[in-house]
Amino acid sequence: MDVKQYELIDHTADIGIRVAGRDLEELFVRAAEAMFDVMVASKPNLTSSINVPVDVTAHTQDELLVKWLQELLYVFDTRHLVLSSFYIDKLTDTALSGVAKGMKFDELRHEVKHQIKAVTYHKLSVEKKSDVWCARIVFDI
């Protein structure tokens, strides 16, 4: 699998993804990009102008990935922001601090492909394989 892409996983009634990164930071960024790609189709050349600070903590790396994605999904659901750029300032095994950039959802520019209700722990995995970090995440739709 190319480190810059994700792949969909067949899953009954839900959507799963497999994502990879050269390091844990890239893995988390790629997972966020993949989640928004699954959710929203955007017309090209859209400028991301709204910054959203994101700070999450957890007990494990797996849980941290879920909480990161849950926080981004919460921003989409409550502030109606389509996030497209993700920057991580600090990342440990149990804490993440960063910024997501995006724009207000606009029906002329965006189309909802799949309404994700939740980021789940079902079949969740975060692991390092050789020199690549890999994750499997399932979204409840």
Query: In this structure, is residue 70 part of a structural domain?
Result: yes
Structural domain boundaries enclosing 114? 6-140
How many independent structural domains does the chain possess?
1
- Residue 138 neighbours by CB distance under 10 Å: 18
SS (H, E, C) 67-105: HHHHHHHHHHHHHCEEEEEEEEEEECCCEEEEEEEEEEC
Give residue-wise pLDDT tens across range 29-83: 999 999 999 999 976 666 668 999 999 999 999 999 999 999 999 999 999 999 9
Q: Which of 79, 16, 90 is nearest to 57 (CA)?
A: 90
Query: In this structure, is residue 87 part of a structural domain?
Result: yes
Q: Which of 6, 12, 120 is nearest to 62 (CA)?
A: 120
Query: In this structure, is residue 94 part of a structural domain?
Result: yes
CATH number, domain of 133, equals: 3.55.10.10
Query: In this structure, is residue 1 part of a structural domain?
Result: no
pTM of the model: 0.90
Query: In this structure, is residue 52 part of a structural domain?
Result: yes
